[in-house]
Structure 1
């Protein structure tokens, strides 16, 4: 495999909290255009790994690369402009803003954020604002959320909030998205919708995803490769069929029963 096909890689990634070794030398990579699952029980180090990749936690050691560039320890806002975004297990919507406004906030290059621009280049500010509104409305339509566009985001269902978070990644046209439990707290109907949106973004727009998820059916549906963490280390990686039948995984995670 050529290096140009690897969009995201972590090597020797570790995080210590005092005497607690939460992540211990994790290595894996994500190919361009892939959907990779990251699974394991609570406490396996999945979210800590995501937080380090996304710039929310500095690694104790190790290296993270994005499109061949060393991004280890870079801030979340810097990574956002490089096209790397993440969502959260608990949705982080702006509850007192509408769904449309939540999407608009996520758009980059908004000249109106500068006082200088708002005073002296008002025409350009209005043009960009109109572009952002149009993109936000198109995103709502893509997600099937047009009917809640003017609803306060805090009033949305759990599944709608998950879709809105995915929509925020679309406003930046993010090409690498870390999804932290997109199925958590979502009813089965909207979970299928979330999975459909992930598939559509992957197949039609070339998005690359790395997904933490406890729902194994969702992982099996979406992910070509699955990385299994145990006690902060990679236990194995392979297809979902290989994971289901690996004795180490069965013993460690599923109590000796094949899932």
Structure 2
């Protein structure tokens, strides 16, 4: 990337943080170099890399809080096992997608002076999520579709008696996107049952706070904590993103 391109992108993302730019999905994304990409397509190597990543997530959560947390695991898909729609519960607060007013004022994420993030790619867009806010990573398998949900609600994935609500991230992030994407992984958010479908895991990196252009106010994009300057990608505000999903809102805060 030459200096002119970098300066133009820096100006755009600066405007985005100040709420003067159009939505993130309306701009082309520059190519990003993976930090620690999983280059070997062998299934066993991918599994081992994911297990190492999730072990690090568990360590970070133990360091962050003395209280016990649920063990994060990667689950191998079970072939041809699909839950019956009648067996799927629909918690009122989650799947009915009712808009509710925010109970507390928005505040940005608290992080250490340096923190690790996972980079993942969806339809050419790169997102980053702090490992301490990562619930887990699952390989995608068969899902059960539900009627009456937003077009970005891909379905319910049942893993070890846990129901995971799968977001078609491309449709959520790019309203009007019609293609049905085939995702390889599900990146779950915090302690919630929500997960973002993604095409590629692009590795992890240690970030320092000064490497992120942080937002001071939520504006119309509370899901955006800031921009990772070097990668020119969005750092997800996980708690705010979960709130939007529970209200049935897309990246622009629009009700389905």
TM-score above 0.5, yes or no: no
TM-score, normalized by length of structure 1?
0.25
Q: TM-score, normalised by structure 2?
A: 0.25
Max Rg structure? 1
